[in-house]
Amino acid sequence: MKKITLFVLSIVALASAASAQAITKDVDFTSNSDRFKGMTVTIDGVNLRPKVAITEIKVGDPATVTVGKGSTANVVAKCKTPRGFKQIDVDFASNPTFAACFFMSEAMFKTIPLQETVKAQITFKGDKSLGYQISLFKGQ
């Protein structure tokens, strides 16, 4: 019985290790975001800016997406934020001109400290044309 239990536990440990998500460098993601289309991506050291006013948009209306603190580019992307989600400004340090729609659940958004910038590790999934859904964030 002990051998069977040990065998089952070792299988579970191996499966957990195999499914662990490696952290992707932000420069790799921003330089070729199409390569990560539909994949779960974890990036460390991004700046979330919850105080940046992103207006509520109606379905189908384009929304202006900010592209980083130091950039002067004016980028417009179509963002269709799902019901129950809130759009958030994500700033990548390595590429401040990268623009895409990021959104997270309203419950998760309420847990972010209301500061100008919050340095965090985020895990998300999606593509550049439809937007990225943040499923996990850890403040740093």
Reported as a single tens digit per residue, the pLDDT across 93-118 is 888 888 889 999 999 998 888 788 88
| Integer Rg of the chain from CA | 18
Tokens of 36: 């990560």
Element (H, E) at 11: helix 2-18
Residue 64 has pLDDT above 60, yes or no: no
pLDDT tens-digit series, residues 22-51: 788 888 888 888 888 888 999 988 988 887
Domain boundaries, the chain: 21-139
Q: Is the dihedral of CA 140, 31, 86, 53 positive or negative?
A: positive
CB 104 within 8 A of CB 48: no
pTM for this predicted structure: 0.67
